[in-house]
Amino acid sequence: VDPVGFLVKTGVSDRAFAQFLRDRHKALKDRRWELYSRFIDLKEGSSGYELLGMHRHRQHRVDFMDWAPGARYCSLIGDFNQWSATENCAREGHLGHDDFGYWFVILEDKLREGQEPDEYFFQEYNYVDDYDKGDNGVDAKDLIRRMNEEYWEPGEVTSRKSRWETVAKLYEQMFGPNGPQTEEELGEIPDAETRYKNWKATQKDESSSSSPSYDIIDTGQEFDIFNVVTDRASFEKFQAKATPLAYWVEMRKGRKAWIEKYVPAISHKDKYRIYFNTPDGALERVPAWATYVLPDAEGMQSYAVHWEPPPEEIYKWRFGRPKVKGSLRIYECHVGISGSEQKISSFQEFTSNVLPHIKNAGYNAVQIIGVLEHKDYSSVGYKVTNYFAVSSRFGTPDDFKKLVDEAHGLGLLVLIDIVHSYASADEMVGLSLFDGSNDCYFHSGKRGHHKYWGTRMFKYDDVDVLHFLLSNLSWWVTEYKIDGFQFHSLSSMLYTHNGFSTFTGAIEEYCNQYVDKDALIYLILANEMLHELHPDIITIAEDATYYPGLCEPTTQGGLGFDYWANLSIPEMWLWHLENVPEREWSMNKIMKVLISSNHHMLSYVENHNQSISGRKSFAEIILNTGMCSSGSVDDDLIFKASSLLKIIKLITFTTSGGAYLNFMGNEFAHPKRVEFPMSSNEYSFHLACRQWELLDKGVHKHIFNFDKDIMSLDENERVTSRGSLNVHHCDDTNMVISFTRGPFLFVFNFNPEVPYQLYRVGVDEAGEYQLILNTDETKYGGRGELKSSQYMKKTSDRRADGCRNSLELALASRSAQVYKLVRILRI
């Protein structure tokens, strides 16, 4: 491990920042020791969901556990006990809670009328696994008799009347029935080897016996419990014996016997909450580890729902995780606004209608925002209230499992936006003041509140908070087979000013007093845990400040992410579209933003941020909704606007660092922005839906065909996986950009007025270049000015752009072309 290793790679030589990284590494080792002293390793430290929350125990009961160190009394209330605060409470002392503040409540199943309690207190039942086994009426005494007859050999199991019985028999074997009674009578004792040989001579050779033999003489070598000397032949005989475990399993009864004898302590879909008695009074909260929550039930308080469907109704996974080769082509979407109707769409509707479209459009991953439960729908799902629950607005946990499973069946990875940078400040359904104290999950005082968004900030230096957050990541991967995460708004957690400060790019801004070292340590632990336990997982960092080392290995001082989202690209395009006349666009400035550091870079033209909260989508800015209504491809204004949108899409995609993202609807230039129902629009769903009917109409159809062919080009040619770019030509006067990537040549003419008939660009490799993509084709809404005879170009030996060879190309205004080197000429 080199805590400053990536600085050499990136060429950073700041002494203060290097010292900060070393100090952070020391703090990381201390945090690991603190975490491992409680949870052994990262696997156990991220498996809290196996114990906390509500789980059915094998011995006809339900166990509940939650963390509330500030509470003095804990009980469960709900439909199952008529919301009584005293019927199902934690027991006194350490039987009910431990020194760390974890409360334990047992809900015993109730005997049905006329049924007798189980004969054995350890009686277990099959609830889910092999639930149809058991119920065969086999008595425990009969099983024990069978074990004695079928497993144990004669003499292996003997009963002893006294604890001295074995010692007495051994003494008799050594000295005979009338052995010496005093030390004087004992005389001189032969050495151990002689005594063993004398004893061995009196034994019968029973090679068929499976009892171990010990024909080994101690040579003085030291042995311990992990290195025991034994006879190999006897060991193999012992290993060949049938295990008695099958008999013990048969003593478990099946689900049918359990249903016949017991009434479940809490039934499937029962509503419940957790009740605390705190120094400030009684509180009712939704459990922090609840897996299904109704946060905004009309006319009543929020509550958790016990989700335990019968085994025959549990969702059965059909497909495994797909393997994606090459670059990531991510389709970002929100389930609630994915329908064409003005309502909240469901997981089922998304699975049936949107997933096939994503596959048809050529994307290989889907990133869903707003999956985690949230009370405020207008927050787009970023003010999370319940971290282990899917949003109940869209459906049940099994509905979401089906969505993920069907996506995997289509070969699509499923990523979700995870919001561990802050949490909702809602007290009734969220984590704020969960146990009555102000510092349970969050910092107290000003540091515990986001300066502008009214959310709460996690306390990343607390082991139990780390346990909660790490377990939350592992839960989504294990329970729902999620393939990756985009960590939302890292700048909110990395700095005590929540990222709302002017950044000049100076390196000291990443290691001053405003940097939250504990948040950085959490991100390192999260990436180490995810990549250690789930090697194929994908993690994406969304950080507007571009913290150094985001995608560098944690062993080299980095944070360990796989990709980082370049938020400057959409902001750059938005600034140009709204504020700069098109004839004054600077090609050098555009390329500087696009390729400033495209190592592991996720690029996008726009995501939901560019068309939400009162802002317009790019299609709304470029195409203009009024002009689109005509649907005429011959309209000169629509032609110019769509041409610009196409080359913006192409240059952003081809300069990405192996990952590209598109927000739902932008692939066909959706003409409306996104606006969730809120008080300012009288809770209207008018802009909280997508106009899918435009897919087959006019300019939208042409842009979708173009976007689809870009994805197909990358699927077949691995364009964005070809290494780094080599920019040969970037002319602000002519507004032309040319660069190569592997065997591909990309040429862009941003000039809105001037076409070029013979424009010369330089190339390194001499040969024949074939046109494989042209934005001016008629199927993309272009004019098709390039003839088929111009699709194959041969280099000349005339130098251009510092290259030994060059090509003369015909470039229409506002167009782009992609050429592939198909034949190399050796000179």
Least confident of 212-216, 381-385, 702-706: 212-216
For residue 377, give the amino acid letter. Answer: Y
Q: Please report, for the domain that includes residue 59, its CATH number.
A: 2.60.40.10
Does residue 523 lie within any of the structural domains? no
Q: Please report, for the domain that includes residue 755, its CATH number.
A: 2.60.40.1180
4/557 Cα distance (integer angstroms): 5
Q: What is the mean pLDDT of residues 714-733?
A: 91
| Tokens 């024990």 sit on residue | 144
135/119 Cα distance (integer angstroms): 15
108/630 Cα distance (integer angstroms): 68
User: pLDDT-based confidence at 229, cuts 50/70/90?
Assistant: low
Does residue 801 lie within any of the structural domains? yes
Where is pLDDT greater, at 214 or 161? 161
pLDDT tops 60 at residue 707 = yes
Does residue 281 lie within any of the structural domains? yes
The number of domains in the chain is: 2
Highest-confidence range of 77-81, 225-229, 251-255, 681-685, by mean pLDDT?
Answer: 77-81
pLDDT tops 80 at residue 133 = no
Q: What is the mean pLDDT of residues 620-633?
A: 56
Spell out where 244-376 has E strands.
Answer: 262-263, 271-278, 281-285, 293-294, 303-305, 328-334, 365-369, 372-374
Does residue 309 lie within any of the structural domains? yes
Per-residue pLDDT at 631: 46
β-pairing, 659-663 with 601-603? Answer: parallel
Domain finish residue from 314, 329, 356:
314
For residue 800, give the amino acid letter. Answer: A
User: pLDDT-based confidence at 227, cuts 50/70/90?
Assistant: low
449-485 pLDDT per residue, tens? 998 888 999 999 999 999 999 999 999 999 999 999 9
Per-residue pLDDT at 628: 43
Least confident of 62-71, 155-164, 419-428, 494-503: 155-164
pLDDT tops 50 at residue 407 = yes
| Per-residue exposure over 284-310, b if at least 16 CB sit within 10 Å of its own CB, e if not | ebbbbbbbbbbbbeeeeebbbbbbbee
User: pLDDT-based confidence at 212, cuts 50/70/90?
Assistant: low
743/766 Cα distance (integer angstroms): 11
Task: Specify the DSSP element, H or E, that contains 346.
Answer: none
For residue 369, give the amino acid letter. Answer: I
Domain finish residue from 314, 337, 361:
314
228/224 Cα distance (integer angstroms): 6
State the residue range of the domain holding 757: 721-824
381 Rama class: left (phi>0) / alpha (psi -120 to 50) / beta? left
Q: What is the mean pLDDT of residues 563-591?
A: 93
Q: What is the mean pLDDT of residues 595-611?
A: 83
User: pLDDT-based confidence at 620, cuts 50/70/90?
Assistant: confident
Does residue 276 lie within any of the structural domains? yes
Active site (annotated) includes residue 528: no
425-457 pLDDT per residue, tens? 998 889 999 999 888 999 999 999 998 888 999
Active-site position among 349, 542, 675, 777: 542
pLDDT tops 60 at residue 131 = no
Q: What is the mean pLDDT of residues 331-342?
A: 95
pLDDT tops 80 at residue 745 = yes
694/673 Cα distance (integer angstroms): 15
Does residue 39 lie within any of the structural domains? no
Percent of the chain past pLDDT 90, that is, above it, reads 64
CA distance between the termini of the chain? 48
532-566 pLDDT per residue, tens? 999 999 999 999 999 999 999 999 999 999 999 99
Q: What is the mean pLDDT of residues 159-178?
A: 77
Per-residue pLDDT at 627: 41
User: pLDDT-based confidence at 107, cuts 50/70/90?
Assistant: very high
Domain finish residue from 276, 295, 314:
314
pLDDT tops 60 at residue 117 = yes
Does residue 213 lie within any of the structural domains? no
Specify the length of the chain in residues.
827
pLDDT tops 60 at residue 293 = yes
Per-residue pLDDT at 132: 60
645-694 pLDDT per residue, tens? 999 999 999 999 999 999 999 999 998 888 899 888 888 999 899 999 99
Q: What is the mean pLDDT of residues 60-84?
A: 94
Q: What is the mean pLDDT of residues 40-64?
A: 93
Per-residue pLDDT at 474: 97
Per-residue pLDDT at 230: 60
Spell out where 483-545 has E strands.
Answer: 484-487, 538-541
Look over the chain and give the mean of its residue pLDDT values, rounded to a whole number: 88
32/68 Cα distance (integer angstroms): 23
Does residue 803 lie within any of the structural domains? yes
pTM of the entire predicted model: 0.87
291/401 Cα distance (integer angstroms): 13
456 Rama class: left (phi>0) / alpha (psi -120 to 50) / beta? beta
